[in-house]
Chains A and B, each alone.
Chain A
Amino acid sequence: MGSLYKWEMKQTLTSKYFWILGAAIVTLPSALLFLTLLFSEGMTGYNAFLEGLSNYNAFVIFLIGVFAGIHVTGSFESRKIQAAVMAGNSRFKILMAKFLSFMTTVAIYSVVAIALSTSISFTMQGVTGLDESFARAVIARAAVYVVVEMAYSALSFLASMFIRHQGGAIGFNFGLMLMANIIAQLLFNFEWAVDVLKFTSVGQTMLVLGDISNSNILMALSASVMTFAAVVALSYVKFRREELK
């Protein structure tokens, strides 16, 4: 399992798409935030930080689906998964290595992008507007946000496992991520729906921005873990007896 993960990460880190998409997903939200802060007046550092998180989520919708499409379907199309099977690795381990490498990449993107936008926020606007401690309002929120973004991104991993065509997977992922976000935003207008959305990763990408209480941290992490488990389980059901061309 360790060597499979190493194999996956080595391929990922030496691929062009990792660096090109990474550059886009790290710099574009911060560039947008920078421009917003240049032309806005009176925004506190804390509000700028929250704006940075929202910007990042918007770019995740656009770009993570592309990454997932290439990372997952690309491995099937280039027959690298087939090579791993023929080398005597169990399909579950292959799937887990693929999933973990995807999650590691999303975590790297998220940490770097959020660290950059957070630095810009507090450098340009000062450490202002905090109603809680910096550790909870910023560091804990950013950490939980990374986890829920990873869980949200896992949806595109799942979709890519079911769609074997790279272009189709990228298109579907974009639609899926966008629709999930739009539906969640619309449902937030209904009080009953919030009780449901807090159990979902997509709902938590919005809730965490306003609620960083211990109970919501626990809820966000639980929802993320459940999403990870569901994505792995459903992906395995698809992959375990799949005909590999």
Chain B
Amino acid sequence: MSDTILKISNLTKTYGVKKVLDNVSFEIKRGRIYGFIGENGAGKTTAIRAITGLSPIDHGTVELFGKSDKNGLTEARKKMGCLVEKPILALNKTARENLLSHQLLYGNDDKTKIDKILTRVGLGDVKNKKVADFSLGMKQRLGIAQSLINNPEFLILDEPVNGLDPMGMVDVRELLLSLCRDDGITIVISSHILAELYQLATDYIIISHGRIISTLSKDELDDLCTTHIVMETEHNDEAYRILTTNGLSTIDCDNDTIRIYDNVGTRDVAQLMSDNKILVTHLAKHERTLEEYYIELLGRGA
């Protein structure tokens, strides 16, 4: 089984004279959760629409489960679940009827798993309620349920937490984490809610003005976001002396706080202070958030 589920190579899409995607390339590896980040109009939805077959591409290739020809791609999409822009629901039907109908699109009319899926997304109690009476959050969850109807190996969710209240976001996050962890489903999520993505994703793809400007894992992001260590001790002067004598050179020290800009972990610093019997009253990594990193990156990209 290949480790790469989706491979996008030099994808280009133009609307009129506007190039919406410009030589976009990235890969999606099995078993991970990708956050797809970009400003409005960056090209996220266009890329997703190209992957899902809604939008023909001008140049480049989309390779899904190793298939890149027209028929192979169409067939490969059967192993993919999608929620693009908003759930496609019949409001005059119940949640259960919506899923039964959606199931037919995959050539399946097995009614037994409908209830399981509805229970899994937290809609088991309202399965016979008309969708017109659903809240926005319930509709989003039903959209996710639709995307799971074919037991997908790969999920693409465009703004799945849009309009959800904080509890709804937590529920969806837990559900997606469980789908990846327990069912091995690879997930791509586009969202503007970066704090939410930070808690969910294992990897990030950042797109701006139709170009991929960064792809990185969460560990890499954490490294990039760690800017310095802040420490407070009962004897800052002594602590400063110990740090410098142990090879750390980029340090600011004032009466209250020591800031260490060297590439060193908090554990190492804590150990050093402990060895020298200095009481540490505060020790923390000062990190940029994903949002701050993203804004800075975009500032550079612009």
Interface residues of A (CB under 8 A from B): 2-4, 6-7, 10-11, 14, 78-80, 82-90, 241-244
Structural contact, A4 and B105, CB atoms closer than 8 A: yes
Enumerate chain A residues within 8 angstroms of B84, measured Cβ to Cβ: 82, 86
Chain B residue numbers with a CB within 8 Å of A4 are 104-105
| Chain B: number of interface residues, binned into ranges | 20 to 34
Q: Mark B78-99, 1 if CB is under 8 A from A, else 0.
A: 1110101000101001000000
Give the distance in Å from the alpha carbon of A78 to the alpha carbon of B88 in the complex: 7
CA distance A4 to B79 in the complex (A): 17
Cβ B77 vs Cβ A83 within 8 A: no
Contact A88 B88 (CB under 8 A): no
Q: Which residues of B contact A7 (CB under 8 A)?
A: 101, 104-105
Can you list 6 A-B pairs, Cβ within 8 angstroms, ordered by A? Answer: A2-B107, A78-B90, A85-B52, A85-B53, A87-B102, A88-B53
Contact A10 B75 (CB under 8 A): no
Distance A244 CA – B45 CA, assembled complex (angstroms): 12
CA distance in complex: A244, B50 (Å): 10
Chain B, range 57-83, C-beta contacts under 8 Å to A: 71, 74-80, 82
Interface residues of B (CB under 8 A from A): 49, 52-56, 71, 74-80, 82, 84, 88, 90, 93, 101-102, 104-109, 146, 150
- For the complex of A and B, 9 pairs with smallest distance between CB atoms: A88-B77, A88-B78, A87-B105, A7-B104, A3-B107, A244-B54, A83-B88, A86-B82, A241-B56
- With A3-B105, A6-B104, A83-B88 already in contact, the answer to whether A90 and B52 are too (CB < 8 A) is no
Nearest to A82 among chain B residues (CB) is B54
Task: Give Cα A86–Cα B88 distance, bound, in whole angstroms.
Answer: 11
Chain A residues within 8 Å of B56, by CB: 241-243
A4 to B78, CA, bound (A): 14
Question: If A11-B101, A243-B54, A244-B54 touch, does A87 touch B88 (CB 8 Å cutoff)?
Answer: no
**A-side contacts of B78, CB under 8 Å:** 87-88
In the assembled complex, how far is the CB of residue A14 from the closest CB belonging to chain B, in whole angstroms? 8
Taking a contact as CB atoms under 8 Å apart, the answer to whether B104 and A85 are in contact is no
Contact B106–A87 (Cβ < 8 Å): yes
The CB with the most chain B CB atoms within 10 A, among A80, A83, A90, is that of A83
Find out whether the CB atom of B106 lies under 8 angstroms from the CB atom of A88: yes
Contact of A10 among B49, B52, B53, B101 (CB under 8 A): B101
Q: How far is the CB of A83 from chain B (nearest CB, A)?
A: 4
B107/A86 in contact, CB under 8 A: no
| Beta-carbon contact of B53 and A86 below 8 Å | yes
When A7-B101, A84-B105, A244-B55 are in contact, do A89 and B88 touch as well, CB less than 8 Å?
A: no
Question: How many Å lie between the Cα of A87 and that of B64 in the bound state?
Answer: 14
For B105, give the chain A residue with the smallest CB separation. A87
Residues from chain A with Cβ under 8 Å of B108 in the complex: 3
Chain A residues with Cβ below 8 Å from B102 are 83, 87
Given A88-B76, A244-B55: A79 touches B88 (CB 8 Å cut-off): yes
* Smallest CB gap from B82: residue in A: A86
Instruction: Give the most central of A84, A87, A89: most B CB within 10 Å.
Output: A87
